[in-house]
Amino acid sequence: METWYLKKHDDESVHGPVPLDQLRDWSLSAKISPLDKVSYDDKWTWLRAPMVPELHMDWLVEVTPDFLYGPTTFGTVQEFLAAGEISEDTYILNCVDGRRAQIKEMAAFRKGGENGADPGKVTDRLTGDGGEGGGDGGRIRQLEDMLVQQRRALEEAELRYQRLRVKYIEKTGENP
């Protein structure tokens, strides 16, 4: 089972280890901000939370014409609506497919939304991805997954290099 850690941006506190499902639940219930970071490898590599596709942080909220909040989740947009921080006239942008619309034009985001709906599935349906990996949304997710894999490989290579460098210095007394 892969375990994850969450590092909160505001106070640098670290939470975990938790399974990906728990991290996803935190994200979908608006407990992870766009500035928070997550780690999958025992805190060696930290990624911004929106870079992990499974967290469904696919939405930007146009708070003012000059200020965007996000990427964030369906749940956070609904919380902003419920708290009166934004209105149904607020524009949101989908980071996966680039679509921009007012909340009132998207039934799933209106006050009350789709009662009982899984926010991740709502996000998939709104993006047209459906979780199948098709279309532009699927291609973007595929590229993001490849980027995460490449970053993991780079971190592992850097770690191996550092270990070899230390061994070299220990044996030769010279810095390579």
Q: Per-residue pLDDT tens for 114-130? A: 444 444 444 444 444 44
The domain spans of the chain are 1-54, 56-127, 132-176
Q: List pLDDT tens digits, range 165-176.
A: 889 899 999 988
Cβ-based neighbours of 78, under 8 Å, separated by 6 or more: 109, 113, 119
What is the average pLDDT value for the chain, to the nearest integer? 81
- How far apart are alpha carbons 62 and 50 in whole angstroms? 17
Give the model's pLDDT for residue 172: 92
Percent of the chain with pLDDT over 70: 77
| pLDDT tier for residue 2 given thresholds of 50, 70 and 90 | confident
Whether CATH 3.30.1490 fits 56-127: yes
Contact between residue 72 and residue 109 where contact means Cβ atoms under 8 Å apart: no
3 state SS of 6: strand
What is the maximum span of the chain, computed from C-alpha positions, in angstroms? Answer: 69
| pLDDT tier for residue 143 given thresholds of 50, 70 and 90 | low
Domains 1-54 and 56-127 share a fold: yes
Cβ-based neighbours of 95, under 8 Å, separated by 6 or more: 50, 57, 58, 59, 60, 70, 71
Domain 1-54: CATH superfamily is GYF domain (3.30.1490.40)
Give the model's pLDDT for residue 157: 83
Rounded to the nearest 5°, which phi and psi values hold at 29?
-100, 20
Task: Check residues 2 and 148 and name the one with the higher pLDDT.
Answer: 2
Q: List pLDDT tens digits, range 77-90.
A: 989 999 999 999 99
Give the model's pLDDT for residue 66: 86
Q: Kindly report the number of other CB atoms within 10 A of residue 158's CB atom.
A: 12
Place of tokens 């993001």: 144
Task: Check residues 148 and 51 and name the one with the higher pLDDT.
Answer: 51
Task: Check residues 140 and 137 and name the one with the higher pLDDT.
Answer: 140
- How far apart are alpha carbons 48 and 53 in whole angstroms? 11
- Kindly list the strands in the beta sheet with 67-72, ordered across the sheet, starting from the edge strand earlier in the chain: 67-72, 59-64, 91-94, 100-102
Which pTM was predicted?
Answer: 0.61
Exposure string for 68-98, b = 16+ CB within 10 A, e = fewer: ebbbbbbbbbbebbeeeebeeebbbbbbbee
Q: List pLDDT tens digits, range 18-35.
A: 999 999 999 988 899 999
